[in-house]
Amino acid sequence: MPRDVMTVARRELANLFASPAAFLFLGAFLAATLFAFFWVEAFFSRNLADVRPLFQWMPVLLVFLVAALTMRSWAEERRGGTLELLLTAPASPTDLVLGKFLGVLSLVAIALALTLPLPLSVALLGPLDWGPVEGGYVAALALACAYVAIGLWLSSRTDNQIVSLILTVLVAGAFYVVGSSTLTSLAGRQAGEVLRALGTGARFNSITRGVLDLRDLYYYLSLTLAFLVLNRVSIERLRWAGNASAAHRQWIWVAALLVANALGANLWLAATVSVQSRSRPRPSTRRRSSIPISTFS
């Protein structure tokens, strides 16, 4: 990892903890998690030693947590006039983007780590299957990567923190709602499959069942890569200050091609797995091309 990236990441994490806002966001996230786990899902009345309620609400809670953490990342730099200083620093714009991404993601990882006492407490009450638990945390971290990338890109597009917060909630929330069972149930079978493939929630639920599918993991990776590239383009356009040349326009086309390839690979990967499954003899029970997490426990 380049030293400049780590320096920017530490600076971003220090800025988040420099104000009480980070502690308030973490406290609100944990309070909402506990409320959903014990009250909304009525954990004690279920008589089951599992932590499914913890991850059932995680995609929604992460939307608001990440939106609150990323709203000031670039918007505050633009409003305070410190962005120009950053762009003239020895660190490249790519290092700045990756550093801010790792800084915010580190705080989200801390928030997820603070929820670990819940599965540990449940394990004391009864036999807990740790496969879905591990899958849930892997899915939460992968989903957080995509949300953080989305939030940072939107923060770089405005100098208003509130606007950045609202846009991040809307865009990240839209990715979740698209694949939700409420929306897919209203569509037909084929349309529902397409919506589930586009939504972050459906893939999250798949991993939390204790199954790692390469298609789901790459989906989150492609979203993260695509929005980080868009963030890099936004910062680069601010450096040009309206003086775009032919080389700059060529650079934008290269970035657009990279985003298209990253997202388009999802279609290729889904088609490849589908062809492989058709070429094999069908077993008596339907199996998904996946790796049970419990085998690694």
The pLDDT assigned to 271 comes to 67
The pLDDT assigned to 19 comes to 81
**Tens of pLDDT along 241-256?**
666 666 677 777 888 8
The pLDDT assigned to 245 comes to 64
Nearest 5°: the CA angle 265, 270, 274 is 145
Say how far residue 205 (Cα) sits from the centre of its chain: 14
The pLDDT assigned to 1 comes to 59
- Find tokens 């599918």 and name the residue: 213
pTM of the model: 0.85
The pLDDT assigned to 211 comes to 72
Could you tell me which of 63, 295, 19 has the C-alpha nearest to residue 176? 63
The pLDDT assigned to 109 comes to 95
**Tens of pLDDT along 12-66?**
999 888 888 888 999 999 999 988 888 877 776 777 777 888 888 888 999 999 9
Distances (CA, A) of 267 to 95, 140, 220, 274, 278: 30, 23, 14, 10, 17
The pLDDT assigned to 297 comes to 37
Query: Rounded to 5 degrees, what are φ and ψ at 73?
Result: -55, -55
The pLDDT assigned to 68 comes to 92
Integer Cα distance of 137 and 114 in angstroms:
12
Look at phi and psi of residue 133 and say left if phi exceeds 0, alpha if psi is from -120 to 50, else beta: alpha
The pLDDT assigned to 291 comes to 38
| Regions of the chain where pLDDT drops below 70 | 1, 44, 210, 241-247, 271-297
The pLDDT assigned to 79 comes to 84
Q: Which two tokens stand for residue 87?
A: 């762009």
The pLDDT assigned to 242 comes to 60
10-15 contacts at long range (C-beta below 8 A, 24 or more positions apart):
10/103, 11/99, 11/103, 12/73, 12/99, 12/100, 12/102, 12/103, 12/104, 13/103, 13/106, 13/107, 15/103
